[in-house]
Chain A
């Protein structure tokens, strides 16, 4: 198991190199750079611009810039330097440190929300197959799968504005700094409810459909007949036998769901003004703040790949028959 994890982590490296290399190339295909905005200002001192260019190596061709960036990022002395944000005027590493936890928090709560809703629904739909409940839940699943996240986010904001039950976006209240730790916790939770529901809903549908299909497959299998024949109560057959077998593919599916959640969170972060890395990369792209874009890409891809890896580990833990070697 350990070697598998190590191998997967090592495989991450060429992947990230490829992604960042591609991204640097693309960003230099874009017309102009951040300094264009500085140059536009009439009173800008040419010497000042020259100094900026030299500092960030912007006078070099893009591949040289890429290797300069890479040299700084790789933690030779146990410290990564992801460059400097032209726009926010802070270290990218510091910026990521502020934004990444918010996105991870939102992704984890959304995934948990989706699972908590989808698994019981999927199980019930499978047990009461072809009933009215099954029909309705499958229609709702289609609906949840088809609604764009940003539209759902808008509806959520509309709801919040009409009822006043929830804050209109953001991560914390303005008076957050003056709150006690307990109130801080509830403040963040209060802000998190709507984004969590909005991001989670899209995944409910796919998880539910997979759960239902697996559960039905397993109900039909012979071990269920055996268990029933020897007089095991129906509830135990369903939950101890069928459930544990049916949930396996779902754990792998959680890895995929994570990918759509990270992507979906991007739109929700922008619409609901939630300060995560999706919100950050959007503004960084508008400002051509290239180090921020690269940093956000590295982080979001790493999150995705680690999410898949965690799903594989969880699968091996749940099902001892699975061996990776």
Chain B
């Protein structure tokens, strides 16, 4: 409990992951569920009447400026644990219970609706799944490649070392987003949502593995002259075994920290690609994709501020991972061996 900030952030992220895991239970609607009569609906008010929670009913006062007005005294009761659309809880248990719902034709928009009347709240929850998982999948890839490339380059030295390091420099010499766009342009536009997700992870890993590989290489260079490594060599162990059994345990904590420091880059990279329309495609939900809707002049002029909420979600998540990364780094490396980025 020496690091209250780290603990607080860990709890916050834990809540986020839980919410993302149970997104289909908590959210009243599916991401593509439209309601064309209720576009750009503001967040619905809730009120208490006859011992039950009610959702305020609205009428469209001005269809040109999308102004909704409350109908005083009218509302629809909110039903908890009600039956809605079918889904599989955690991908396993088929069920149709939802945390809260209202009867059609009324709709509950906790955080407003978008240009086709889809529920912003539900889409935020489904989008969280992508943003929260992409970093974890990404660092798993970077850890494997960063360790293999860095460890082998550092251990063998010579031409392998040279080739690997020159290649990393080449990748780093191009401004990140430029390379990201060129790489994305290499693949076809129309892919299934799963394929797109993995494509984005792989492209972002390709951009990020270099930094990790460099740190691991530096550490391997100093480790390979240590006595226990030399002893293993004298005993005739194969290089792969030495790298895996003797070097890996010594660099593992650094590997985890170096990789976890790049989680924000994954979240931001996915959001940027989806924002540009090159990532996750409609009707799936992703925070970057949702923000691209907010580029509409109508949104600015008529002040549909709730459409900017996905940006706030990205912001909070990235800040949490940045803080967490710094706390981990302090624990593993109190003397700050890493370059101050």
**Interface residue B60 (Cβ < 8 Å from any Cβ of A):** no
Task: Contact check, B182 vs A27: say whether CB atoms are below 8 A apart.
Answer: yes
Query: In residues 254-287 of chain B, which contact A (Cβ within 8 Å)?
Result: 264, 268, 271-272, 275-276
**Interface residue B181 (Cβ < 8 Å from any Cβ of A):** yes
Query: In residues 290-308 of chain A, which contact B (Cβ within 8 Å)?
Result: 293, 296-297, 300-301, 304-305
Residue from B177, B308, B311 within 8 A of A266 (CB atoms)? B177
Task: Contact check, A15 vs B173: say whether CB atoms are below 8 A apart.
Answer: yes
* Chain B interface residue bracket vs A: 35 or more
Instruction: Please measure, in the bound complex, the distance between the C-alpha atom of A300 and the C-alpha atom of B174, giving whole angstroms.
Output: 7
Query: In residues 200-255 of chain A, which contact B (Cβ within 8 Å)?
Result: 206, 209-210, 213, 253
| A213 contacts across to B, CB distance below 8 A | 340
CB-nearest residue of chain B relative to A308?
B173
**Interface residue B63 (Cβ < 8 Å from any Cβ of A):** no
Instruction: Please measure, in the bound complex, the distance between the C-alpha atom of A210 and the C-alpha atom of B339, giving whole angstroms.
Output: 10
Instruction: Please measure, in the bound complex, the distance between the C-alpha atom of A161 and the C-alpha atom of B301, giving whole angstroms.
Output: 6
Query: In residues 132-172 of chain A, which contact B (Cβ within 8 Å)?
Result: 142-143, 145-148, 150-151, 154-155, 157-158, 161-162, 168
Q: A148-B314, A210-B340, A281-B181 are in contact. Are A142 and B323 (CB under 8 A)?
A: yes
Instruction: Please measure, in the bound complex, the distance between the C-alpha atom of A238 and the C-alpha atom of B205, giving whole angstroms.
Output: 44
**Interface residue A270 (Cβ < 8 Å from any Cβ of B):** yes
**Interface residue A275 (Cβ < 8 Å from any Cβ of B):** no
**Interface residue A278 (Cβ < 8 Å from any Cβ of B):** yes
Task: Contact check, A148 vs B170: say whether CB atoms are below 8 A apart.
Answer: no
Task: Contact check, A162 vs B300: say whether CB atoms are below 8 A apart.
Answer: yes
Instruction: Please measure, in the bound complex, the distance between the C-alpha atom of A271 and the C-alpha atom of B294, giving whole angstroms.
Output: 11
| A148 contacts across to B, CB distance below 8 A | 268, 271-272, 311, 314-315, 318
Task: Contact check, A301 vs B173: say whether CB atoms are below 8 A apart.
Answer: yes
A-B residue pairs in contact (CB < 8 Å), sample of 28:
A26-B182, A26-B183, A30-B188, A146-B318, A148-B272, A148-B314, A148-B315, A157-B300, A158-B305, A161-B297, A161-B300, A206-B340, A210-B340, A253-B340, A256-B341, A266-B175, A266-B177, A266-B181, A270-B276, A281-B182, A285-B181, A286-B185, A288-B185, A297-B174, A297-B178, A300-B178, A304-B173, A304-B175
On chain A, the number of residues with a Cβ less than 8 Å from chain B's Cβ atoms is 52
**Interface residue B7 (Cβ < 8 Å from any Cβ of A):** no
Task: Contact check, B173 vs A19: say whether CB atoms are below 8 A apart.
Answer: yes
CB-nearest residue of chain B relative to A262?
B175
Task: Contact check, A267 vs B185: say whether CB atoms are below 8 A apart.
Answer: no
Q: A146-B322, A161-B300, A267-B272 are in contact. Are A297 and B182 (CB under 8 A)?
A: yes
Minimal beta-carbon separation of A300 from chain B (angstroms): 5
Minimal beta-carbon separation of B60 from chain A (angstroms): 23
Task: Contact check, A293 vs B182: say whether CB atoms are below 8 A apart.
Answer: yes
**Interface residue B303 (Cβ < 8 Å from any Cβ of A):** yes
Query: In residues 176-228 of chain B, which contact A (Cβ within 8 Å)?
Result: 176-178, 181-188
**Interface residue B319 (Cβ < 8 Å from any Cβ of A):** yes
Task: Contact check, A300 vs B341: say whether CB atoms are below 8 A apart.
Answer: no
Minimal beta-carbon separation of A136 from chain B (angstroms): 15
Task: Contact check, A30 vs B185: say whether CB atoms are below 8 A apart.
Answer: yes
**Interface residue A181 (Cβ < 8 Å from any Cβ of B):** no
Instruction: Please measure, in the bound complex, the distance between the C-alpha atom of A143 and the C-alpha atom of B315, giving whole angstroms.
Output: 8
**Interface residue A75 (Cβ < 8 Å from any Cβ of B):** no
**Interface residue B103 (Cβ < 8 Å from any Cβ of A):** no
Q: A30-B185, A282-B276, A285-B185 are in contact. Are A142 and B174 (CB under 8 A)?
A: no
**Interface residue B295 (Cβ < 8 Å from any Cβ of A):** yes
**Interface residue A22 (Cβ < 8 Å from any Cβ of B):** yes
| A304 contacts across to B, CB distance below 8 A | 173-175
Instruction: Please measure, in the bound complex, the distance between the C-alpha atom of A147 and the C-alpha atom of B175, giving whole angstroms.
Output: 19
Task: Contact check, A19 vs B174: say whether CB atoms are below 8 A apart.
Answer: yes
Instruction: Please measure, in the bound complex, the distance between the C-alpha atom of A29 and the C-alpha atom of B340, giving whole angstroms.
Output: 37
Task: Contact check, A22 vs B185: say whether CB atoms are below 8 A apart.
Answer: no
**Interface residue A263 (Cβ < 8 Å from any Cβ of B):** yes
**Interface residue A23 (Cβ < 8 Å from any Cβ of B):** yes
Task: Contact check, B319 vs A142: say whether CB atoms are below 8 A apart.
Answer: yes
Minimal beta-carbon separation of A203 from chain B (angstroms): 12
CB-nearest residue of chain A relative to B166?
A18
Task: Contact check, A301 vs B319: say whether CB atoms are below 8 A apart.
Answer: no
Minimal beta-carbon separation of B192 from chain A (angstroms): 16
Instruction: Please measure, in the bound complex, the distance between the C-alpha atom of A152 and the C-alpha atom of B305, giving whole angstroms.
Output: 14
Task: Contact check, B177 vs A27: say whether CB atoms are below 8 A apart.
Answer: no
**Interface residue B333 (Cβ < 8 Å from any Cβ of A):** no
**Interface residue A110 (Cβ < 8 Å from any Cβ of B):** no
